[in-house]
Amino acid sequence: MASINLITQFLLFGLIVCWPIWKTGRLSYVDIGWPWGLVCIGVLTLILSDGYYWRVRIIGGVYIFIGLRMGLGALQLWRKGFMQKEFPRYQYQRLRWERQKKTNVQLAMQVDALTQGMANASFLALPAFIIGTNPDPTFSILEYIGILLWVMAFVFEATADAQKLSFLRKMSALNQKNKVCDIGLWKYSRHPNYFAEWMVWNALILMAIPSWIGLRSHEPLMIWVLLGIGLLFVSRLMYLSLVYLTGAKPSEYYSFKKRPDYKAYQKRVNMFFPGMPK
């Protein structure tokens, strides 16, 4: 499964990410490749896993759902022409390269895109592939908690996105620009959608723990330990990405520059983890 996924991700990113980046000089195409890569993981899980069929269907369906939700949105942005210019988070990446005095930006973009493709081919596929090996027809309490946590995280993220969209529409109707969204969940976190996305992956890790424990009798100790470390690293990887690499930090760099009230908002509201405003 891992080998087939590696080939699939390589072909996917080569065709719809790396080649368009080379032609246009814009990294934004990663936003198409990454979620559709998750769809591929879900499909491979459904087709190739030999675990208990309901468990396989659940985790495969979850990956497909996560990927389609973001992937269809990315295609919509591409169709409407929003990818004719670089997204702010990828503009911020260019600023990083300038600070690092990188001169071969074309190569740096390809390396960055392939790095995200390799994440799909390795760590981000671990929860699905590990869960897909479990033949036990009985679900554990951790799996039920993980499923419940995933549903809650999805509702949290969808609510945050809907509140932000409603706020933007209201400000547009009032002809007010560059206002700070501090309604609903955005009163308690400056990036509730990113926090919820992180919790989605933590839920998948939690769901995978019983299946990982079950692998102990089938895998050599070293392989089993490395799989467990890799599973936990998924949480760390997504946190770094959602906060520092392509999430909160790049977003705030531009919000601070164009929204006069953003500095006060930063002092009042937590950046990532929800909490009572100061």
Are residues 96 and 156 part of one domain? no
With 0-12 CB in 10 A as exposed, 13-18 as middle and 19+ as buried, what is 111? exposed
Residue 231 has pLDDT above 90, yes or no: yes
Examine residue 52 and state whether it is found in any structural domain, yes or no: yes
DSSP codes joined into one string, 34-82: HHHHHHHHHHHHHHH--S-HHHHHHHHHHHHHHHHHHHHHHHHHHHTTG
Number of domains in the chain: 2
Of the residues 126, 148, 180, the one at which a domain ends: 126
Domain span at residue 277?
A: 139-278
What are 239-266's pLDDT values in tens digits?
999 999 999 999 999 999 999 999 999 9
With 0-12 CB in 10 A as exposed, 13-18 as middle and 19+ as buried, what is 180? buried
Examine residue 144 and state whether it is found in any structural domain, yes or no: yes
Residue 5 has pLDDT above 90, yes or no: yes
Alpha-carbon torsion (169, 172, 178, 182), positive or negative? negative
Q: What integer is the mean pLDDT of 55-63?
A: 97
Share of the chain above pLDDT 90, in %: 94
Examine residue 133 and state whether it is found in any structural domain, yes or no: no
Of 55-59, 91-95, 124-128, the range with the lowest mean pLDDT is 91-95
pLDDT at position 271 is 96
The reported pTM is 0.94
Q: What integer is the mean pLDDT of 54-65?
A: 97
Cα gap 49→42, rounded to integer Å:
10
The widest CA-to-CA distance across the chain, in whole angstroms, is 64
Examine residue 273 and state whether it is found in any structural domain, yes or no: yes
pLDDT at position 248 is 95
pLDDT at position 102 is 87
DSSP codes joined into one string, 143-169: HHHHHHHHHHHHHHHHHHHHHHHHHHH
Of 141-145, 202-206, 254-258, the range with the lowest mean pLDDT is 254-258
Of the residues 95, 126, 157, the one at which a domain ends: 126
Are residues 196 and 101 part of one domain? no
Are residues 99 and 208 part of one domain? no
Are residues 3 and 93 part of one domain? yes
Are residues 143 and 122 part of one domain? no
Are residues 278 and 144 part of one domain? yes
Are residues 184 and 75 part of one domain? no
Residue 103 has pLDDT above 90, yes or no: no
Q: What integer is the mean pLDDT of 171-198?
A: 95
Q: Give me the long-range contacts of 56-63 (CB less than 8 A, separation at least 24).
A: 56/131, 56/132, 58/147, 59/127, 59/128, 59/131, 59/132, 59/204, 59/207, 60/128, 60/132, 62/150, 62/204, 63/38, 63/39, 63/128
Are residues 176 and 113 part of one domain? no
Examine residue 33 and state whether it is found in any structural domain, yes or no: yes
Share of the chain above pLDDT 70, in %: 100
Examine residue 152 and state whether it is found in any structural domain, yes or no: yes
Q: What integer is the mean pLDDT of 39-55?
A: 97
Are residues 143 and 100 part of one domain? no
Residue 119 has pLDDT above 90, yes or no: yes
Examine residue 132 and state whether it is found in any structural domain, yes or no: no
Are residues 184 and 109 part of one domain? no
Are residues 198 and 278 part of one domain? yes
Are residues 163 and 60 part of one domain? no
Examine residue 94 and state whether it is found in any structural domain, yes or no: yes
Of the residues 105, 126, 147, the one at which a domain ends: 126
